[in-house]
Structure 1
Amino acid sequence: MIESNTELTRVPKAPSPAPARGPASVRAAAAARPAGAMVASSPAPAPSPALPAGSTAGSPAATPARDTPVTRRHAWRLEFTGTGADYFRIWIVNTLLTLATLGVYSAWAKRRKARWFARHTLLAGEPFDFHGDPRRILVGRVLALALLLACVHAFDWSLAAGVAALAALYVLGPMLFAGAQRFKLGNLSWRGLRFGFQPVAVPTYASCLPLLVAWTLVAFVVSLGPDLGPWVSGLIGLTAALLLPIAHGRLRQFQHRHARYGALAFHFHLPVEAFYGLYLRVGGALIVAGAVTALIGAGVSLGWKLAGGAPPEGLRTALPLVAVAVAWACAWPIYIARQQQVVWNNTRLAGGIEFASDVSVVALLKTVLGQGLLTVLTLGLYWPFLAVRIAKLRIEGLSVMTDAPIGGIVVQAPPRRGPGPARGPAVDGAGDTFGLDVGW
């Protein structure tokens, strides 16, 4: 460890303990407080292990005996202070400059966007920050774009070229993913101390390959489905569907188990059944929303025919697209909210630090449907306001809980192992081209 410590200071003192209350979960207590407020829950025995997300703190059974040392849980809800109007100015400048430079400015636009969102996200009243070098993002995107074009067109050249490109993707894909996480976390800081990501080769490939296999199976069915026959296509599709949830969970486990804040390590418990439940919910939402939208579209077409003519070609083309868009708009909020709950409720940070997510599916669904419609009607100009609203719901749905007041936690910087985040290999900036540093 480096000798100099970074102490988390300038935090308000914990309020006096409130009178004992009935059973209440830690997440419910955190949600009832304003952003940045510290919560003192009912006494619990000490020392005690970190409470699992959703467990009860302060229940009668947890009341300690007389003269037993006690600890109190403190919860801090993240706060997002950005506004749609402020982000609109950044977004419109980024968009215009990216178009004017034929995409070259996109790397600087990404850094500017990430820094704006980080600096408007507060924990205990203190903002995060982002320090990424846009030149590395640009070089990484060029390398990733070359690999992407090779994978897309290789089979058009020859079977051998296609197999070689696919093999290159399997070899380089896990490296790109790990590099994207290292770049994103290594350039994120809070109170002057950076996060980090320290992957190991074997877990990297073991965690990423199941997802690559699932993607390969889906691409195989999409490209060769008519030639394979319905039974073979269905079997391959079912295999991919059963593999995807566990592959997703393994990837999340890899991300969080190798993440660091200073010298503190994150831990993640993989709830396999929760990831399958997540995909079942999303699949059900897609089926219901798609069926309802299809019935509405069929009714519109029938009404048009009864009125004395066939629907115009444009309408017949637009209806399936509208059905897909509505189904996605209904299923995506469920996926995002439930995924955030599953992931963060099972994540811990060394030192007795826990996380809890209570992001509202209903609020997210209303936002996507309502403000998404405004985005369509304004031809995309309302997008920054929608993005800020979604970010606010997701960020402020997350709470950080500690056994001691956050001002008493001392975090050491990790030992240096070579070049810092700003001087790493260009592959660290390449993963975002494939969307590998966002979403999952």
Structure 2
Amino acid sequence: MDTSDRFQVQFKGDAQTYFGIWIVNLMLSIVTFGIYSAWAKVRTKKYFAQNTSIDGRRFDYHATGKQILIGRAIVVVALILYSVLSAIPVVGLILALGFIGIGPYLINRSLKFNARMTSFSGLRFGFDGTFGHALKVFLLYPFLCIFTLYLAWPFVARAQQRYYVKNHRYGTAQFDFESRVGPFYKALVFAVLWGVGITIAITVAFFGPALASGQLFGADSIWMTSKLMQIVPVLIIIVAVLPAGFIYRAYIRNAVYAAASVQGGHEFTSTVKPLALVGIAITNALAVMVSFGLMLPWTHVRMSRYLARNTYITVKGTLDTFVGVQEKQVGAFGDAFTDLEGIDVDFAL
């Protein structure tokens, strides 16, 4: 009889330890004019990976600061060359088109690098996406979506998430992704409703009484109106726009995890609550502001702990068997590895 085990992802990091890493990273990055930031990124990713585990088996991150620095240097040199050569009109146009086309290549390199540098229980992940497929989902589909006035954006979002998930593998076990478009429309609709609804409510609350009395632009209220014109947009961004983004993120995360699986029937679950994520995001932002940035490590740890606590994996059979099979298959077939440059374009849920 088939059996399955359900595991909750565990995150054991703490704000005090991470603060020590963060402050050293910050200081060294400043005194080295940003050069050390490559090593800082590695230290940060390694800390969060090594403190994340499933059933006692840890993740790890294996990139080096040198790899990240080389990747950044390549991008910087390319941008400098573009700035210099684009002074020539024809060359500038050709280079601009080339930079648009190179976007999918950079995304693929980033996904391949980050997957190959991440391991679970000592076994590395991989990514096998192709340039042609990336070109479609990251450039062609978004461009065509313009002609639908972005009403078809959920189809684009689903295609991008499918590309991201299905081209990953753990050892030799390929990930899969099967989802209807409904959950992606749900995410968009709820996010838009929040953003538009709160924006209308704030506008009516601040300007409604004055507008109704005809005094909004009167000589006696012009000073107050000018102040409101400065305050209200900021309030809308904080209370309407940013929360809408986190609401969208929560629904998308839950939908993607529900649709993802690993070869062998192993499945994922995300139970993130949209309003809870909004609450954490807003209080995190307030904590950073009142502490002048010093509580940033605490907010990162807090968010990571919440996301881990709401992430589960259901393994068919046992986790030991699954990992053991992958170790044998990787050992039998080999796992080619090249020293990739650390081109790193974040693409995460």
TM-score normalized by structure 1?
0.69
CA offsets 1:11-70 (integer angstroms, 9 cap, x no match): xxxxxxxxxxxxxxxxxxxxxxxxxxxxxxxxxxxxxxxxxxxxxxxxxxxxxxxxxxx3
Which residue does the alignment assign to 1:175? 105
Which residue does the alignment assign to 2:263? 350
Counterparts of 2:20 and 2:240 in 1: how far apart (Å)?
31
Which residue does the alignment assign to 1:126? 57
Q: Superposition pairs for residues 257-268 of structure 1, below 5 Å?
A: 257-268=166-177
Q: Superposition pairs for residues 37-436 of structure 1, below 5 Å?
A: 70-147=1-78, 157=87, 160-210=90-140, 213=143, 239=148, 241-298=150-207, 310-311=223-224, 316-409=229-322, 410-411=325-326, 412-413=329-330, 415-416=333-334, 418=336, 420-421=337-338, 423-424=339-340, 426=341, 429-430=342-343, 432=344, 436=345
Please list every run of 5 or more consecutive structure 2 residues that lacks an aligned counterpart in the other structure. none
Deviation at 1:168, TM superposition (A): 1.1
Please tell me the residue identity of whatever aligns with 2:199: G
| Secondary structure, aligned partner of 2:151 | helix
Please tell me the residue identity of whatever aligns with 1:369: I
Deviation at 1:309, TM superposition (A): 6.8
Deviation at 1:80, TM superposition (A): 0.8
CA offsets 1:286-341 (integer angstroms, 9 cap, x no match): 112322333445379989x9997714967643431332132233213212211111
Please tell me the residue identity of whatever aligns with 1:111: V
CA offsets 1:164-213 (integer angstroms, 9 cap, x no match): 23321232111111111111110111111111112234323233223563
The answer to whether structure 1 residue 437 and structure 2 residue 318 are counterparts is: no
Please tell me the residue identity of whatever aligns with 2:309: E
Counterparts of 1:144 and 1:212 in 2: how far apart (Å)?
24
| Secondary structure, aligned partner of 1:438 | coil
Counterparts of 2:118 and 2:299 in 1: how far apart (Å)?
24
Counterparts of 2:74 and 2:231 in 1: how far apart (Å)?
36
CA contact (8 A) 1:285 1:331 kept: yes
Shift in CA distance, 384/338, structure 1 to aligned 2, threshold 3 Å? same
Shift in CA distance, 293/115, structure 1 to aligned 2, threshold 3 Å? farther
CA contact (8 A) 1:269 1:347 kept: yes
Counterparts of 2:285 and 2:299 in 1: how far apart (Å)?
7
CA contact (8 A) 1:150 1:165 kept: no
Further displaced range: 391-400 or 110-119: 391-400
Please tell me the residue identity of whatever aligns with 1:353: H
Shift in CA distance, 348/370, structure 1 to aligned 2, threshold 3 Å? same
| Secondary structure, aligned partner of 2:46 | helix
Larger fraction in helix: 2
Counterparts of 2:73 and 2:107 in 1: how far apart (Å)?
16
CA contact (8 A) 2:191 2:248 kept: yes
Please tell me the residue identity of whatever aligns with 1:365: V
CA contact (8 A) 1:71 1:404 kept: yes
Shift in CA distance, 98/438, structure 1 to aligned 2, threshold 3 Å? farther
CA contact (8 A) 1:245 1:276 kept: yes
Counterparts of 2:227 and 2:193 in 1: how far apart (Å)?
29
Counterparts of 1:143 and 1:243 in 2: how far apart (Å)?
35
Counterparts of 1:168 and 1:401 in 2: how far apart (Å)?
44
Shift in CA distance, 309/242, structure 1 to aligned 2, threshold 3 Å? closer
Deviation at 1:85, TM superposition (A): 2.0
Deviation at 1:349, TM superposition (A): 0.4
Deviation at 1:273, TM superposition (A): 2.7
Shift in CA distance, 168/401, structure 1 to aligned 2, threshold 3 Å? same
Deviation at 1:247, TM superposition (A): 2.2
Counterparts of 1:300 and 1:386 in 2: how far apart (Å)?
38
Counterparts of 1:340 and 1:187 in 2: how far apart (Å)?
23
CA contact (8 A) 1:289 1:330 kept: no
Counterparts of 2:229 and 2:51 in 1: how far apart (Å)?
44
